[in-house]
Amino acid sequence: MSRGEDLLTAALSGWLITGLFLDGWAHNTQPQLETFVTPWHAVFYSGFAAVAVWIAWSVGRRRAPGGRWWPAVPVGYRGAVAGLAVFHVAGAGDVAWHTAFGIEHNEAALLSPTHLGLYLGAFLVVTAPLRSRWADPTVGRRAGWRELAPVVVSLALTADLSAFILQNFSPVRDNPVSRSLGQQLAATPLPGLTDRSIEHLVASFILTTVFLVAPVLFLVRRWEPPVGAVAALIGSQCVLMQGLSGFADPGLALLGVTGGALVELATRRLRPAPGRLAELRVWAALAPGLFWAVWLGGIALHDHGLGFKAEIWGGALVWTALTGVALTIVMYPPPLPARPEPEEAARGR
C-alpha cells in the first residue's frame, strides 16, 4: 500500500471507531436503550462496511488474472483480512445474541463474547496501516507527519479501542478520586467495599497508563515521533473516553490534554530511542508521573482535596512509573549474549 492508501485505511478505520464510541455514549447515557437498530449502530457497521469494501478492492486490483487472492493481499494487511472475517462472524453473532438475551448494559456489554469478537476484529483492522508503514524500508526513522500520519492515527485508534473495551478501568472517563466518592466510601459499613474500591482505583491507573504510554514506546522503536504526535496520542484518548459519559465532567478531558502536552515536552527533551535506553527508561517513568500529577492536581484544586489518603494516590503514582519502566523492559529487553565459537568455548572449559 502507498502512504495515501494507508492513510485512507486509517481514515475509514476512524469512521468505524467513531461509530463505536457513539454507540458507547448512547448506551452510557440512555440506559433504556433496548433495540439493536439505532443510528449509532448504523455509523459503526457502515464504518466496517466501508473499510471492508476498501480492503477487498485493494486486494482485488492486485490479484493477477486467474491467480490466488491471498498472495495479492498487501504487506501488513493479511491481519486486517482475518480481522474482517472475525468481525463479520462476531457481528452476525451479536445480532443473534441481542435477539436471544436482549441488550447488555454496563459491565455485561463489555464482557459479551460477541462484543469481544468485534473488538478483536476491529483491532486487526485498525492496526493495518501501522504494520504496512512499519514494513516499508523507505520510511526513515526521522520521517515527518507526511509519512507517519497513517501510523499515528492507527496507533491512536488501537489505543482508543483497547481503552474503550476496558472503559470501566478508565479514570479519565469518570472521577474515581473525588472527595464525594471518598466520603461515601468512608461512611459505608462495609469495609470490604472500601478495600475493593482502592484496589480498583490502583488497577485503573496501571491499566490506563499502559494504554497511554505503550503506543508511544511502540512508535519510538521504529521512528522519532513527529512534533505533536505524543500529545495527540494521549490527548485524543482522554477526550474520547470522557465523551463516553457525554462530557459529564469536561474538566477531566482538559486535564488529560494538558498532561499529554507536558509529556510531549518531556519527549522533545529526552528524545527516547532504542539506542538511548537510559533516556527511554527515564522517559517511561517520568511520562506517567507528569500526566497523572497534572490530572490529580487539577482535581484536587477543583474539589479542594482528594477522596483518598496520600498513601493511596501517592502509591498509585509510583505504580504508574513502575508500569512505564516495566513496559520498556518487555519491549526493549537486554540483548542475548553472543554464542562463543567452538574454539573459544573449549578454551573457556
- Residues 227 and 199 reside in one and the same domain: yes
- Residues 147 and 180 reside in one and the same domain: no
Cell matching residue 333 = 529487553
- Residue 50, CA distances (Å) to 102, 119, 129 in order: 27, 17, 16
In a domain, residue 340? The reply is no
- Residues 50 and 129 reside in one and the same domain: yes
In a domain, residue 339? The reply is no
Q: Give pLDDT, residue 4.
A: 95
Question: Among 233, 237, 206, 181, which Cα is nearest to 324's?
Answer: 206
Q: Give pLDDT, residue 111.
A: 78
Domain that holds residue 94: 1-166
- Residues 191 and 162 reside in one and the same domain: no
- Residues 114 and 241 reside in one and the same domain: no
In a domain, residue 270? The reply is yes
Alpha-helical segments (H) within the chain: 3-29, 39-62, 78-101, 107-111, 113-126, 128-134, 145-165, 179-187, 191-222, 229-243, 250-270, 277-303, 310-331, 342-348
Q: Give pLDDT, residue 168.
A: 86
- Residues 50 and 199 reside in one and the same domain: no
State how many domains the chain has: 2
Sequential pLDDT tens for the chain (349 residues): 999 999 999 999 999 999 999 988 887 787 665 555 678 778 988 999 999 999 999 999 999 888 899 999 999 999 999 999 999 898 888 777 666 666 666 676 677 888 889 999 999 999 999 999 999 999 999 999 999 999 999 999 999 999 999 998 888 888 888 777 766 666 677 666 777 888 888 999 999 999 999 999 999 999 999 999 999 999 999 999 999 988 988 999 999 999 999 999 999 999 999 999 999 999 999 999 999 999 999 999 988 888 888 888 899 999 999 999 999 999 998 888 887 766 655 565 5
Paired with 273 in beta bridges are 276
In a domain, residue 346? The reply is no
How many angstroms separate the CA atoms of 252 and 172, rounded?
6
Give the Cβ contact number of residue 116 at 10 Å.
Answer: 13
How many angstroms separate the CA atoms of 157 and 14, rounded?
7
In a domain, residue 347? The reply is no
- Please tell me the pTM assigned to this model: 0.89
